[in-house]
Structure 1
């Protein structure tokens, strides 16, 4: 079992160019659980994740309870790159895992590692495929592969199903559940509250401030959701 990371957020606020993105958010994420974050578009969900990752100049406190050896994995909503560049899956993994330049062929040990990584996400035998020729689902699986190898103690997912078909979405859901069963803490932005209820342990709603944080079995009225999403 992996020891997940727990997080305590205290009075987190984010103001950019006099635009209040987040305001006085306080909450806790328990270790070893799936925490789904929901809310309307533009409500600050991705900005909240970027605060957790230290990419935004927030005010307040974010307290991680972790050991020095602990790792954080991150799957962004999109990956911006020039699709005409001749970068293969192997090149991408070499940039992630090798110390030598990616244009040099990986040694046998690295090839074996890459095969294991790609097999876990269903991309084995596609190592020579160009990144620009991958489908949205294949690219997301590749991003997931580099985020969970080696296993992180905390995995942060920003809309991992964007551009993924139904089969790919089910694959992601099964993988996320298995990672939680290994003890990993998962924070996951998702737009579908029905799916969040089925797979997550807690559901957190953010719309500038914290609207609610509940266990998946707690009732959330339709009127409350309508007020948030309207």
Structure 2
């Protein structure tokens, strides 16, 4: 199944407070439909929390909206990592069945999913390991399986939480090819990533987040030494956030 073109994503003054800690502060940004939009920032900057607001997993202030050109399509999600007990008797096939269909995994694949799952595993180079236990895979191999489950059913919007973190060089090449395929198909990709070199090469647009938005624009324009120093330094973030709040 070919996905329809992806939606725009609008975050409008999104805020999140957990206890006494402000996790997100009046975050406003827009993801263009069919674009590869990267979100970068230090650990604890609120990147995963912003994803959770998009996925509807956490209460928040402000507005988050998916703006589809027509009927709503499929959203795929690839988490940062999943840990598996080495002795857990769950194969790659079992995992794909559990993650991509409503039918219980122990009953096997739903007929409508067999070809899609096989094609997804083939795209990430894991078709020959579909009978291996998830706990016996390397971290990079598990990450490829996570990428595969995000492909079934074919998504129009993909949310990626640091998908390159555990990938080896071959896996990174697989991911880059997937990004190119998604872009050609018009899939909207919202991509949290630490690898700034990869973001500079592969993203159409990048937002720097450290609880609030520090920069937003094309990578070649906004990924400068000064903006990155501001992004990964606590003091500039605090000063700028205070100035923005005073202006608001």
Q: What's the TM-score once normalised by structure 1's chain length?
A: 0.92
TM-superposed deviation, 1:179: 0.8
Quote the residue 1:94 is aligned against: 97
Change (3 A) 1:86 1:59: same
Change (3 A) 1:188 1:219: closer
Quote the residue 2:195 is aligned against: 192
Change (3 A) 1:59 1:108: closer
Change (3 A) 1:118 1:192: closer
| Structure 2 contact 120–151 (Cα < 8 Å) conserved | no
Quote the residue 1:127 is aligned against: 130
TM-superposed deviation, 1:61: 0.3
2:233 is the alignment partner of 1:224: no
Quote the residue 2:49 is aligned against: 47
Question: In structure 1, what is the Cα distance between the partners aligned to 2:49 and 2:77?
Answer: 14
Quote the residue 1:167 is aligned against: 170
Question: In structure 1, what is the Cα distance between the partners aligned to 2:56 and 2:220?
Answer: 32
Out of 126, 129, 142, the residue aligned to residue 145 of structure 2 is 142
| Structure 2 contact 117–152 (Cα < 8 Å) conserved | no
The equivalences for 1:22-61 within 5 A come to 22-61=24-63
Q: Which has the higher contact order (CA 8 A, sep 6+)?
A: 1
Q: What's the TM-score once normalised by structure 2's chain length?
A: 0.86
95-104 or 135-144: bigger deviation: 95-104
TM-superposed deviation, 1:100: 3.8
Out of 163, 181, 184, the residue aligned to residue 184 of structure 2 is 181
Question: In structure 2, what is the Cα distance between the partners aligned to 1:220 and 1:96?
Answer: 36
The equivalences for 1:195-210 within 5 A come to 195-210=198-213
Structure 2 unmatched ranges of 5 or more: 234-248
The equivalences for 1:6-85 within 5 A come to 6-66=8-68, 67-85=70-88
Question: In structure 2, what is the Cα distance between the partners aligned to 1:19 and 1:108?
Answer: 48
Question: In structure 1, what is the Cα distance between the partners aligned to 2:147 and 2:161?
Answer: 11
Change (3 A) 1:13 1:125: same
Question: In structure 2, what is the Cα distance between the partners aligned to 1:100 and 1:174?
Answer: 31
**Number of residue pairs matched by the alignment:** 230
Greater share of helix? 2
Deviation sequence 1:41-89 (CA, Å, 0-9, x none):
1111111111111111110001211244411100001114433210011
TM-superposed deviation, 1:112: 3.9
